[in-house]
Amino acid sequence: MKVNQLNTLIFKNPSQDDINKAAELLRAGKLVVFPTETVYGLGASALDETAAARIYAAKGRPSDNPLIIHLAKANDASKYADISPCYEKLADLFMPGPLTVVLPKKDCIPFSVTGGLDTVAVRVPSHPIAHKLLEAASIPIAAPSANRSGRPSCTTAEHVIEDMNGMVDAILDGGESDLGLESTILLPRGDKEVVLLRPGAITIEMLTENGFEVTLDKAVTEKPKENEKPLAPGMKYRHYAPKAQMILLDGTLDDIAEFMRQYPDDPSVAFLCYDELKSKTGNKKIINLGSVSDPLLQAHNLFHALRCVDQDDSIKTVYAPLPDQENIGLALYNRLLKAAGYTVKKL
Ligand code: AMP
Ligand code: MG
């Protein structure tokens, strides 16, 4: 249920003046949604307990699900967290960019931001509007994805308006998010060892190429057991799930084509579908993910596709291909598994 109704200011293609106004709002403890290269973020001062509490209320987010703090420069992290040689190496390689690193927090970051944990997750976005906003605000900005809790993350300002109009003080509309999936989250365990808590566009392959040893947190690919606490608390929550029952198809492209061909045409059933399968679908309802050979485009399209499913009330079941786990495929695999509540049909 939506609570307080605010008069949300919307700045389309914001000028530096608009960004300065938004930065002032953040400094005054208000909520501002801003675009990043991953997904839209719902920001508030990370130094202000009340502001942080407003994020949880606006999203309907459980209070034990911690927030990522966003900084203008990787070097700023030492003001808010204990940094390490591992952090510095990751920052040199991948910041600014779609990477979040979990570090021991300093006292200035309230526990309400970290869901009670003594660590804080730090990210330096590369999106020019996010960067200008962080520079102008000159405070760390706590910002989860700007969707209502449980819904797909927002990759356009229209999605944000759907979920958050009247719940936030301002929205900076910077068009479509470039990547479309949330950041990779890493927990450093030594100089070169990291645990992958959430896969994203900084992939295992990119990390190992640069000499890191990566352990995959099992919550990335397996359903957490009841009462189990994953290292990233957010991974235990139902996420991205459309209202329709979602089922993932585990098989080759040919297997999926055959499955679709044999499936009776039924307006209550939709398929998230690669370009290569479109001609095989008869009169089926399809929502396009892009080419099977372009997982970056699939990542860009996924959350929009899931929102399209929700917009058609007649869809009761949606099938989607289970992607390969290589490179950014692992991030797609993880988000789809969560969206489907881990329901997979072997073909
Ligand atoms: P979102 O902001 O919606 O992309 O979600 C942020 C994700 O980061 C959630 O899965 C959180 O559980 C995770 N996260 C944030 N802070 C920490 C932390 N200190 N330790 C582990 N995971 C974290
Ligand atoms: Mg989120």
Is the Cα torsion angle 53, 56, 60, 62 positive or negative in sign? negative
Please calculate the CA angle 177-168-12 and round it to the nearest 5 degrees. 45
Cα–Cα distance, 293 to 237 (Å, whole number): 30
Q: Both 327 and 188 in a single domain?
A: no
- Domains identified in the chain, total number: 2
Q: Both 80 and 158 in a single domain?
A: yes
3-state SS string for 70-133: ECCCHHHHHHHECCCHHHHHHHHHHCCCCEEEEEEECCCCCCCCCCCCCEEEEECCCCHHHHHH
Q: Both 257 and 180 in a single domain?
A: no
Q: What is the CATH number of the domain that holds 157?
A: 3.90.870.10
**H runs (alpha helix) in 125-219:** 128-137, 157-164, 204-209
Atom of ligand 1 nearest to the CA of 121: 16
From first to last of its 347 residues, what are the pLDDT tens digits of the chain?
445 689 999 999 999 999 999 999 999 999 999 999 999 999 999 999 999 999 999 999 988 899 999 999 999 999 999 999 999 999 999 999 999 999 999 999 999 999 999 999 999 999 999 999 999 999 999 999 999 998 999 999 999 999 999 999 999 999 999 999 999 999 999 999 999 999 999 999 999 999 999 999 999 999 888 777 778 887 777 778 888 999 999 999 999 999 999 999 899 999 999 999 887 777 889 999 999 999 999 999 999 999 999 999 999 999 999 999 999 999 999 999 999 999 999 99
User: Ligand 1: does its nearest atom lie under 6 Å from the Cβ of 241?
Assistant: no
| CA of residue 302 to ligand 2 center, whole Å | 14
Q: Both 152 and 284 in a single domain?
A: no
User: Ligand 1: does its nearest atom lie under 6 Å from the Cβ of 44?
Assistant: no
Contact 272, 344 (CB under 8 A): no
Q: Both 88 and 173 in a single domain?
A: yes
Report which DSSP code applies to 76: G
Report which DSSP code applies to 323: P
Q: Both 254 and 214 in a single domain?
A: no
Assigned domain for 234 exists: no
Q: Both 99 and 34 in a single domain?
A: yes
Assigned domain for 172 exists: yes
Question: Using one digit for the tens of pLDDT, what is the confidence trace for 12-66?
Answer: 999 999 999 999 999 999 999 999 999 999 999 999 999 999 999 999 998 889 9
Report pLDDT for 4.
60
Q: Both 198 and 250 in a single domain?
A: no
User: Ligand 1: does its nearest atom lie under 6 Å from the Cβ of 217?
Assistant: no
User: Ligand 1: does its nearest atom lie under 6 Å from the Cβ of 196?
Assistant: no
Question: Using one digit for the tens of pLDDT, what is the confidence trace for 306-325?
Answer: 999 999 999 999 999 999 99
* Residue where a domain terminates, one of 160, 187, 220: 220
User: Ligand 1: does its nearest atom lie under 6 Å from the Cβ of 6?
Assistant: no
What's the token pair of residue 290? 């892009």
Domain that holds residue 341: 245-346
Q: Both 145 and 291 in a single domain?
A: no
Assigned domain for 117 exists: yes
Cα–Cα distance, 186 to 208 (Å, whole number): 13
Assigned domain for 226 exists: no
Assigned domain for 269 exists: yes
| CA of residue 142 to ligand 1 center, whole Å | 11
Supply the DSSP string of 290-304, one letter for each residue.
Answer: E-TT-HHHHHHHHHH
Q: What is the CATH number of the domain that holds 317?
A: 3.40.50.11030
Q: pTM above 0.85? A: yes
| CA of residue 258 to ligand 2 center, whole Å | 35
Assigned domain for 40 exists: yes
What's the token pair of residue 68? 């990522």
Assigned domain for 237 exists: no
Closest ligand, as measured to the CA of 151: 2
Residue owning the nearest CA to atom 10 of ligand 1 = 234
| Strand arrangement, sheet containing 269-274 | 285-290, 269-274, 317-321, 245-250, 344-346
Q: Both 293 and 159 in a single domain?
A: no
Q: Both 31 and 137 in a single domain?
A: yes
Report pLDDT for 35.
98
Cα–Cα distance, 95 to 333 (Å, whole number): 24
Q: Both 98 and 190 in a single domain?
A: yes
Assigned domain for 3 exists: no
| CA of residue 200 to ligand 1 center, whole Å | 13
| CA of residue 198 to ligand 1 center, whole Å | 9
